Structures are given as C-alpha cells and as structure tokens.
C-alpha cells in the first residue's frame, strides 16, 4: 500500500509549496522509492486552461494533454516523473464529477452534500493516482492557504484519508513563515503558531514544519516552535532562502528532512544518491564558467511565472554548456514603439514564446526580423513559430498583408489559419490541440542534428497551424520545413537555410526539459548563442576560500548580496537607423528577385553576391 504525504501552506501564499513538494519527491526518489506527486487546486475552474497568465501563471501541459497547474512542471523537473491529468485535480473538476453522478442517479436519491460526497470524490482521486502509478509514496500538495474557505473540503478530505490509512501510512507537512522584523531585529514565531492552530481547528495535526525564513534561527527558537505547535524539535525544518532553486533539496537534506519523513512513515531505505544533482545541477548553477545573454520577447514578461518553463529550459541549456543564461525580458508591446537595435543590441539570442491574441504581435515581428537579418540565433515556440512564418511571408516572400486569421480574419494571405476541424468549435476549455504528438524530422536539417533521431514526440497547446497552401512558396524562398506531423502533414518545425541557427517549433519543447537532461532545442539554441561571443563571457573565477569568505559575510549581513558578474563581450552592430535602412534594403531586394522568378544566392545577399548586414 502506498504511503501519503500531505503538504499544506499557511500564513501567506507564495511560500513555495510546489518547490518544497518537488524537493521532497527528489529526496525520496534518491533513497530508492517510487514517487508520484499530485496538486489539489481549490478554484472552481475545471482546469487553468482558460485562465489568464496574470491570474495563474503559465499553464503546464502534460503528455496526455491536460492543462494543469505550473507546479506540475516543478514535479517533473525535480523528480523526472511524467505527470498526467490525474496528477492535478481542481475543485471545479470534483464538483463537476459529483454533479454528473447526481444526474445519473448514482447517489440513489440521497441528499448530495460536501461531506461525504465531495470529500469522497477527492479521496477517490487521491487513491486512484497511487493505484495507477504503482508507487511507494504519493506527495499531495494542497493549493491555497489554510483558512481559505474554498480549501476546506480538501483539508477535510486529507483529514479523513489520514485516519483511514493509519498513522504510519500518512503524515502532514505544513509550510509556514517565520518572518524577520527588522525594527525589533527578531524572528517571530507567532504567525506559525496561529497557522498550526488553524490546522488543528480543522482536525489536522502537523507532523513536520517547514519554516520559511530569511535568517537562520537558533535552537531556542526551534524549541519554542516545537513546543507551541506540538511537533518534535527535529521535525522543525528551516526552509532558508537559497541562491538557486535547485539547492532546496540539498538544503532540506542537510537538515535530515528525508530521514525524519522515512522514520515517521516507517520506511527503511538505503542512503541517498544525490552526487549527480549536486555536481551537474547545483554546482554548475552556482559556479558557471561563462555567461550568455538571451532576450525573451513576450507580452507577459512582468510576471515571472508566465513563462516559467521557458526560463527553466533556458537555464537547463546553460547548465549543459556550463554557462549562466542571463535572461533579458523584453515587453513586445513596448518593442513595437522602439528601435529593435536599441533593445536587442546587447543579446546573443532571441526567443519568442507562445501566447494568444494580437496584443504585442508587432513587437514580436520586429524582434524576429532583427534576429533573421542580424544572423542572431533565434528560437520560436508555438505562437513564436507562427510569427516567424508571418514575418518571413511579408518581408522575404513579399506577401503584403500576410497574417494569421487569429489576428486578421480578412487577411489576403492567411499563412496561419485554423484547422478545418477547429472552425466549428465554440467552447474554449480543453478544445485545442493538446498533448504529445509524433513528429517526423527531415534528414540533413539542424533540427534533426539537435535531436539525433528521426522521430520525436512533443507536447502541443494551440488552435492555429501553418497554412500548407503556402509551403511550396516558403520552401523556394529558403524556409525549410524540418519537422511534420504526418497524419495531417502539419508543419511542426521550420528553419532557415541562410541563417546560422534559426529554428521555430509549433510544439512546446520547454515542457520536456530537465535540469540534468536539457531539451535538445534549448541545448542547441544556448550553444548557438554562446558561439556569438568567443568563450561565452567567462566569469571571474573565485577560489574556495574566497567563496567561503563571501558566504560568511552574507551570513553576518543577509541584506548584502554578492555582486553579479554579468560582464562579457557585447555584440557590435551599426546604429539603429542604419540597421533599419540596410534591413529594408535586403528584404526589398529579396522580394523583388522572387517576384521576378530569380532565386537569391545562399549567402543571403542580393543577386550581385554582396552580403548586406
């Protein structure tokens, strides 16, 4: 029978329950246990698929096509386990299921209530995930904060399930806050006491406390928390701020959290094996040999979580090259009002992420044009690929007004349009092309070289596709369709023949990237960006003694932060005005030669053979 760990949060939101749960999963997996994780979200939406990134952050798509909470991305990245629809359950989905059963008459005419019917449905979902995955331990994160009214049915369900399973088969871990009050120069335990007290009112006794704190606390403070919260002193764990999120498992391991959990669950396991994580992930993240600067051009860049998997995948690509990826967030709406050169002159690569709607499209097209003409490495994802096709159609093929029917239904050149089966769809939730699909890679392409195989499976989340009516024209102009979805002959990957590294995908490669195993496209993209500056801007090396001295200084004064060593060479280019004039000249000449039926030279210049930059 599987054991269960319930992770709840108190005092405030955004303490990092997802990271904590994923870290516990990694620790237990390193001890030889089979682990899976589950997220319970109290909101009424059936899934987050129709929610704005400003409301919810990114929507994480699983292999089986579920639109889920971004915490499932943490689960997959930390543990390497593949999550499915069963690993994320919302209040909306639970209520939807209960109402469907009531309509079918499954409750035999009884009065349907939160207890027992809603709580039974929640427990059924929690038990089902253990049976399906055949695991030793299920880690279940309860979204929200203790005291939220919408979370009460979930807390009641885990209270009941723990009683049904027995004490050594389940435990409660509560993530809380021990704030530092600067004026008093003190750490305060009262918020934690109140949060644990609130849990006890519901009937749940915390077994382990993860205390988020800026500063280490003494054994006296630990003893006080243990006494007033009715937990063992060894079960009071300091969840200290760390330099890198991938340090969290090591920080928790250093305080014996995994040993405490195993003892409470009556499990006997061999010692952990975290050497690879420590060296190849944390070691490289903290002490990279070089750095590279990459622009992410999107319309949700103000919110860190909107492109969470993109940022992490870029970091994974950097780890593989022993490099720090410095991400420059560029607002695509603002870029449309600026000279692209002024914004992008100091980056070694450009990435356009996915999205929906026309807002910010002009800025994305400008960024793509800049990367194409300046021979700057480019990676487009989902909408980023569609924008790359639109930009190529307009400025290289000379198709004036080319657009996606998503932005302009009356465009004279619908180079991106809805699939036939999507045209009659009116419902918004879970009606897109979702989940993993097979893609066949073309021999001799950069994409094939990145993957090293002829067939791949990647995750999708979109309604619109490249219009195949224009494929032949694009191919003549130098755009290569390097990957296709064979059943519908749909465009999955494109690249340019006259560019050192210009690749865009209709799918979302970021969802399959891991810290120790970066996605091939991100590995290749970061490598191409590093090639833009010889040596990749080496960081100043520090000895072990120097690092120890810096860490000691930081411990004495937590306000002080080590200075960032972002230095490195910068790409040199012409002034913004000159660059724009030259770029327009290249595009105008290319369009004119193709209308006249003349193929442009492979070096990207005009028929006279002179390269224009």
Q: Report the C-alpha gap between 233 and 219 in whole angstroms.
A: 9
Residues whose CB is less than 8 angstroms from the CB of residue 294 and which lie 6 or more positions away in sequence, other chains included? 314, 325, 326, 327, 328, 347, 348, 349, 350, 351, 526, 529
**How many CB atoms neighbour CB 263 within 10 A?**
15
| Per-residue tokens: 10 | 């108190």
**How many CB atoms neighbour CB 453 within 10 A?**
9
Is the separation of the CB atoms in 435 and 428 below 8 Å?
no
β-strand partners of 491: 484
Helix, strand, coil percentages in the chain from 3-state DSSP, rounded to 5: 45, 20, 35
Q: Report the C-alpha gap between 142 and 145 in whole angstroms.
A: 8
229 is catalytic: no
List 156, 316, 366, 382, catalytic entry: 382
Closest of 251, 322, 287 to residue 544, by C-alpha: 287
List 74, 321, 345, 508, catalytic entry: 508
- 247, 282, 442, 493 from 244: Cα distances, Å: 6, 8, 38, 33
3-state secondary structure of 390: helix
- Report residue 273 CA to chain centroid gap: 26
Q: Report the C-alpha gap between 505 and 372 in whole angstroms.
A: 16
Q: Report the C-alpha gap between 177 and 15 in whole angstroms.
A: 8
382 is catalytic: yes
Residues whose CB is less than 8 angstroms from the CB of residue 173 and which lie 6 or more positions away in sequence, other chains included? 5, 6, 7, 8, 20, 24, 206, 207, 208, 209, 210, 261
List 156, 391, 406, 510, catalytic entry: 510
Q: What is the dihedral of CA 126, 131, 136, 141, to 10 degrees?
A: -20
| 525 membership: H or E segment, kind and range | helix 520-530
Most distant CA pair in the chain, distance: 84
Q: Report the C-alpha gap between 216 and 197 in whole angstroms.
A: 23
549 is catalytic: no
Is the separation of the CB atoms in 41 and 90 below 8 Å?
yes
State the catalytic residues: 382, 508, 510
């Amino acid at each position: 029978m599987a054991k269960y760990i319930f992770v709840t949060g108190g005092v405030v939101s955004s303490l990092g329950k997802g990271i904590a749960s994923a870290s516990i999963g990694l620790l237990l997996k390193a001890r030889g246990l089979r682990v899976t994780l589950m997220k319970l979200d109290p909101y009424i939406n059936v899934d987050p698929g129709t929610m704005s990134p400003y409301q919810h952050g990114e929507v994480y798509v699983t292999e089986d096509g579920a639109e889920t909470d971004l915490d499932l991305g943490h689960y997959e990245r930390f543990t390497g386990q593949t999550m499915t629809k069963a690993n994320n359950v919302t209040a909306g989905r639970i209520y939807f299921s209960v109402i469907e059963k009531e309509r079918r008459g499954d409750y035999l005419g009884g009065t349907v209530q939160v207890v027992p019917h809603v709580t039974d449905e929640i427990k059924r979902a929690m038990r089902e995930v253990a049976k399906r995955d055949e695991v030793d331990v299920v880690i279940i994160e309860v979204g929200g904060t203790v005291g939220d009214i919408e979370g009460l049915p979930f807390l009641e369900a885990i209270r009941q399930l723990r009683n049904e399973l027995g004490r050594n088969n389940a435990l409660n871990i509560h993530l809380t806050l021990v704030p530092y009050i600067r004026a008093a120069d003190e750490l305060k335990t009262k918020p934690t006491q109140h949060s644990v007290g609130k849990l006890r009112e519901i009937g749940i006794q915390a077994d382990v406390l993860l205390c988020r704190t800026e500063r280490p606390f003494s054994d006296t403070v630990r003893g006080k928390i243990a006494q007033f919260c009715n937990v063992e002193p060894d079960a009071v764990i300091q969840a200290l701020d760390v330099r890198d999120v991938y340090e969290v498992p090591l920080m928790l391991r250093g305080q014996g959290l995994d040993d405490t959990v195993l003892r409470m669950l009556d499990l006997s396991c061999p010692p952990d094996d975290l050497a690879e994580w420590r060296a190849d992930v944390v070691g490289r993240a903290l002490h990279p040999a070089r750095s590279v600067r990459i622009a992410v051009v999107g319309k949700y860049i103000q919110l860190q979580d909107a492109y969470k998997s993109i940022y992490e995948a870029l970091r994974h690509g950097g780890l593989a090259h022993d490099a720090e990826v410095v991400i420059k967030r560029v607002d695509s709406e603002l870029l449309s009002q600026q000279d692209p050169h002024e914004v992008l002159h100091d980056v070694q690569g450009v990435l356009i992420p996915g999205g929906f709607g026309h807002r910010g499209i002009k800025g994305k097209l400008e960024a793509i044009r800049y990367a194409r003409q300046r021979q700057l490495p480019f990676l487009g994802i989902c909408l980023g690929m569609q924008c790359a096709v639109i930009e190529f159609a307009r400025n290289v093929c000379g198709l004036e007004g080319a657009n996606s029917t998503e932005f302009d239904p009356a465009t004279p050149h619908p180079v991106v349009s809805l699939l036939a089966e999507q045209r009659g769809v009116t419902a918004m939730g879970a009606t897109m092309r979702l989940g993993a699909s097979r893609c066949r890679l073309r021999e001799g392409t950069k994409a094939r070289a990145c993957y090293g195989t002829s067939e791949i499976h990647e995750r999708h989340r979109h309604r619109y596709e490249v219009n195949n009516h224009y494929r032949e024209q694009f191919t003549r102009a130098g755009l290569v369709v390097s990957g296709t979805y064979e059943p519908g002959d749909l465009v999955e990957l494109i690249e340019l023949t006259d560019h050192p590294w210009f690749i865009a995908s209709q799918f979302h490669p970021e969802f399959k990237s891991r810290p120790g195993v970066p996605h091939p496209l991100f590995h290749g993209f970061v490598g191409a960006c590093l090639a833009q500056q010889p040596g990749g801007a080496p960081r100043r090396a520090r000895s072990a003694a120097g690092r120890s001295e810096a860490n000691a200084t930081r411990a004495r004064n937590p306000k002080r932060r080590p200075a960032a060593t972002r230095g490195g060479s910068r790409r040199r280019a012409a002034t913004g005005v000159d660059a724009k004039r030259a770029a327009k000249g290249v595009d105008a000449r290319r369009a004119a030669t193709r209308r006249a039926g003349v193929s442009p030279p492979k070096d990207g210049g005009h028929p006279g053979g002179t390269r224009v930059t």
